[in-house]
Amino acid sequence: MSPRVILGVGAGIAAYKVCELLRLLTESGCRVRVVPTPDALRFVGEATWAALSGEPVTTDVWSGVSEVPHVRIGQSADLVLVAPATADLLARAATGMAGDLLTATLLTARCPVLYAPAMHTEMWEHPATQANVSLLRSRGAVVLEPAIGRLTGADSGAGRLPEPPEIFAAAVRLLENASHENASHRSPGDLAGRRVVVSAGGTREEIDPVRFVGNWSTGTQGYALARTAAARGAEVTVIAANVTLPDPAGARVIRVVSALQMRDAVTEAAAGADVVVMAAAVADYRPETRSEAKIKKDGQPPGPLRLVENPDILAGLAARRLATQRGPGRTHPVLVGFAAETDTSEQAARAKLARKGCDLLVVNPVGHGLGFGTPDNEAVVFGADGTVTPIPRGPKEALANVVWDLVVVKLT
């Protein structure tokens, strides 16, 4: 049966982008009913929504009264997705107002609810808006962080609607979480209120202005982890090393280049975090010195390239956690490491887990069509408590969900 999605549209200029989001939802097989606020029709008209969705479009509770739409629509939905979620709409949703069909639907929905905010930076940062967002998240709704970029007019800053493909990816994650046959224990918002840090991509260690020591990592797995965490309600910070993928909707992205920059950014972001997932491929070594000028081919071979060891970021986080731990038990953050290996034996994995001092080590084989730059992955997750969790080959988002399932157990 096709998933039933209610697409609520708020009265913001970004409403025109939601037409693309609607197309992505319908082309994926979802049955979508668009429920705009009355003022949203000032930006995109009723005829457009009806033509694109193939469903009737209503804004008030008085049309089709015999069918009780303000109750039935929410009751029958598998997902309610609101985009753009304006400051006004978030406020009315948080306070339980039901003055139009969309806000009434939000009150009757018993399915996952996803908000994609869009507004000016000052409105997003206002304490009232932040309080409303916190309240909605505490009730289990997923409120994405807005993107940073060009706003209405010449203004730029936080408050831009995330790109439609990224909102769509978050919606897909929520639908999958709610319907997966093995996820009956999983709440769509089971990471709500949690602060997580995910590193992604591959570091580059410069030799000269045009050359570097690096690896093949594209950040695909790290971004899948970030998207999935955001879809499950987390506040996500991504430390991205040389990643060219679109920013994950709902995540704050900090860009770095080298391992030392990665260490500094992760260490700062980890302060107060509940979880740190080191999915980035961090170079083990860097050149001892960097040439300020391009090393030219002039008939004379250059001197040897001397390498020095980079700091172990994950082991450093574990040592810092141990030093600050007081009393019995384990303090946060939960630490998750990733290891792309050609030797995936349990003996090697256990040795690495002990060296790193993390709670979970995700060991994934590389080569033979697996690993860097591919849409799928497989892994075995080794726990410091002796557990072993195999993850069969499948989409990287599926692997991400299993990893977060294991993390949630550590957080409870």
Catalytic amino acids?
215
Which residue(s) pair with 299 in the sheet? none
How many Cα atoms within 13 Å fall on the side-chain side of residue 326?
1
Name the strand (E) or helix (H) holding 390.
Answer: strand 388-395
Q: How far apart are alpha carbons 362 and 383 in whole angstroms?
A: 9
Q: How far apart are alpha carbons 228 and 248 in whole angstroms?
A: 9
Chain centroid offset of residue 211 CA: 31
Going 239 to 244 to 249 to 254, the CA torsion angle's sign is positive
What crossing angle do the helices spanning 18-27 and 164-179 adopt, rounded to 10°? 40
205 close to 287: Cβ distance less than 8 angstroms: yes
Rg (CA), the chain: 23
DSSP 346-362: HHHHHHHHHHHT-SEEE
Q: Tokens 């709670």 — which residue?
A: 359
The two tokens of residue 201 are 């991509």
Residue type, 385: D
Q: Which of 59, 103, 400, 342 is nearest to 224 (CA)?
A: 400
Q: How far apart are alpha carbons 246 and 220 in whole angstroms?
A: 10
Q: How far apart are alpha carbons 406 and 399 in whole angstroms?
A: 11
How wide is the angle at C-alpha 196 spanned by C-alphas 15 and 219, nearest 5°? 75
Residue type, 144: L
- With a CB cutoff of 8 Å and minimum separation 6, the contacts of 114 are 79, 80, 81, 82, 141, 142, 144, 167, 170, 171, 174, 231
Q: Is 392 exposed, middle or buried (0-12, 13-18, 19+ CB in 10 A)?
A: exposed
85 close to 123: Cβ distance less than 8 angstroms: no
